[in-house]
Structure 1
Amino acid sequence: MRNKDGSIILTKLNNEVWVHTTYTEMDGYLVSANGLIINSSKGIYLIDTTWNEPLANELLKMIKQTFHKQVKKAIITHHKIDRVGGVPALLKNKIPVESTSFISKSAKKEGYSKIAPTLDRSPVLKLGKTTLETYYPGEGHTSDNIVVWLPKYKLLFGDMIFALEQQNVGIIDEANMSAWPYTIQSLINKYPNAKIVVPGHKSWGDFSLLPHTIENLKDVDK
């Protein structure tokens, strides 16, 4: 399912979980970013908010048309624009936006305030029959990046993970290149039974994205 100009695509993974993919232009190229929509019995939960306000407003409209529900809450997985760009639109629609205190402080420095630091004390959310767990594995793409784990579906989402077709490390202006491989190894150790792995950009797949990410990082100057 996509909007008229193709800037937003919604892809169903199962009865409860969808991927929202949004596109923006950077240096003449269209760049995608993935997030999750969880259609639980307790309402719609959004993981990450798109690149900007217009895309976020369009996404909220598509969610309402598709699921006939409002978004109950949004979770942010790090402080950079592809995750937080739509925060103002959500707040204007009175949708709570939550994360860790680390991400909240980092986002505030970038001009995105009012992200509630609730995940420090409540990293696990019960969404009806679905449990959502958040976890900070260490520094990687950013110093504050977290992952989302849905144990019911053995689904892992994180923007420090590379798609199989990605053969470079992308934008690393805030990355900790020395720590990043160890961060991914911690994910391998913690989620050895992951069946669906959704990266922050490009195509999702299975557990193989995790060792691929480590391989992708090997030849980069630390």
Structure 2
Amino acid sequence: MNSILRTAGFILLCAFTFQCTSLKKKDFDRRQVYKSDKLIILQLAPNSYQHISYLKTNDFGNVPCNGLVVVDDKEAIIFDTPTDDKGSEELILWLTETQKCKIKAIIPTHFHDDCLGGLGIFDKYQIPSYANEKTIALAKENDSILPQNGFKDSLSLAIGHENVTIKFIGEGHTVDNVVGYFPKDEIMFGGCLIKELGATRGYLGDANLKAWSSTVLEVKARYPKVKIVVPGHGDAGDQKLLDYTARLFKPKE
């Protein structure tokens, strides 16, 4: 009888554990928390959100573009703006009014419009912007709105009790592309330096094809603990995105 009771108890414990695990996965595995015509927000981890907006292009049609929001103790940092003013304002209001967060910084990860197309709205709300010095120079050459603050190789910013790091590791998609890392959720925003699984090479007009693969391998070496990787376009994943991108751009011998 005791053996039967122990077995039954074990089954109940397993069922409860499975239920909790399933709930946790459901809560934080790409759970949609906001949607409009201009903006989609997905929760990827307890403190991290992928934002998706759309950029109309001549070569690739209406392209979904990603950014990342990380939060701690009601403070937030955003990587890449939504592609236009309307989507950017929606993201700002969702964070400040719905989530009751203070936005500490917006960080465009390179100079293309899918990273800083909505920067003017962040200026309107007096949200500080930070970018690689090369990004600011290239944005100026292209008559884009300029980020306010520049850094050369790396930057660390605090939100709540955590630090977010931003690093220029090497050229790839562009000569200025940086990556961001939030250790609390072990999540990386790779931006357009990183491709989703199965992606093609995409736009190469400003790329350094010789350096791209080695840059991504260096990213992987510097962030061995990363569990979630958000590319510039398409689905988030794990370190397999880094491996896939490195193979995709490996120079031919």
Q: TM-score, normalised by structure 2?
A: 0.79
**Sequence identity, in percent?**
30
Structure 1 SS opposite 2:45: coil
Q: In 2 relative to 1, CA 176–121 (structure 1 residues): closer, same or farther, beyond 3 Å?
A: closer
User: Deviation of residue 70 (structure 1)?
Assistant: 4.3
User: Deviation of residue 121 (structure 1)?
Assistant: 8.0
Task: Name which of 197, 214, 218 aligns with 2:246.
Answer: 214
The aligned residue for residue 15 of structure 1 is 46
Structure 2 SS opposite 1:57: helix
User: Deviation of residue 120 (structure 1)?
Assistant: 3.4
The aligned runs of 1:55-70 (5 Å cut-off) are 55-70=87-102
Task: Name which of 200, 208, 232 aligns with 1:176.
Answer: 208
State the alpha-carbon separation in 2 of the partners of residues 153 and 2 from structure 1: 20
The aligned residue for residue 31 of structure 1 is 63
Structure 2 SS opposite 1:149: strand
State the alpha-carbon separation in 2 of the partners of residues 55 and 201 from structure 1: 16
Task: Name which of 173, 178, 184 aligns with 1:152.
Answer: 184
RMSD of Structure 2 on Structure 1 (CA): 2.1
The aligned residue for residue 36 of structure 2 is 4
State the alpha-carbon separation in 2 of the partners of residues 112 and 217 from structure 1: 29
Q: State whether structure 2 residue 234 is matched by structure 1 residue 202.
A: yes
Higher percent of residues as helix: 2
User: Deviation of residue 76 (structure 1)?
Assistant: 1.4
State the alpha-carbon separation in 1 of the partners of residues 63 and 146 from structure 2: 27
Q: Which runs of 5+ in 2 are unaligned?
A: 1-32
Q: State whether structure 2 residue 78 is matched by structure 1 residue 46.
A: yes
Q: Which runs of 5+ in 1 are unaligned?
A: none
Larger Rg: 2
Structure 2 SS opposite 1:2: strand
Structure 1 SS opposite 2:210: coil
Q: TM-score, normalised by structure 1?
A: 0.90
Task: Name which of 183, 194, 203 aligns with 1:161.
Answer: 194
**CA contact under 8 A between 1:88 and 1:112: conserved in structure 2?**
no
Matched residue pairs, number? Answer: 219
